[in-house]
Amino acid sequence: MNRILFFLLLALAIYIAWRFVQRKPLPRQDDESDPLRLPMVSCATCGLHVPREEALVQDERYFCCEEHRRAMAPGPE
């Protein structure tokens, strides 16, 4: 009887493993993973295009780096 249980568990394990493999996302040319499709913004100081996620934002303007942000909008001294 224990053997049957063992094989049932084995079959279950194989089934789960199979499902896991099937779920694995296949490497495909997905547009969403294309870095060129990231929303790009241009630096208000130098015009360099940077991904919006990496850009610094101040007064609804984007900057490529802290230096350029300061150059365009100097903080209170």
- List residues near Zn ion by CB under 5 A: 43, 45-46, 48, 64, 68
Rounded to a whole number of angstroms, the minimum distance from the CB of residue 49 to Zn ion is: 10
| 67-73 long-range Cβ contacts below 8 angstroms, 24+ apart | 68/43, 68/44, 69/45, 71/45, 72/44, 72/45
Nearer to Zn ion, 12 or 71 (CB): 71
Nearer to Zn ion, 41 or 64 (CB): 64
Cβ(45)–Cβ(72) below 8 Å: yes
Nearer to Zn ion, 31 or 66 (CB): 66
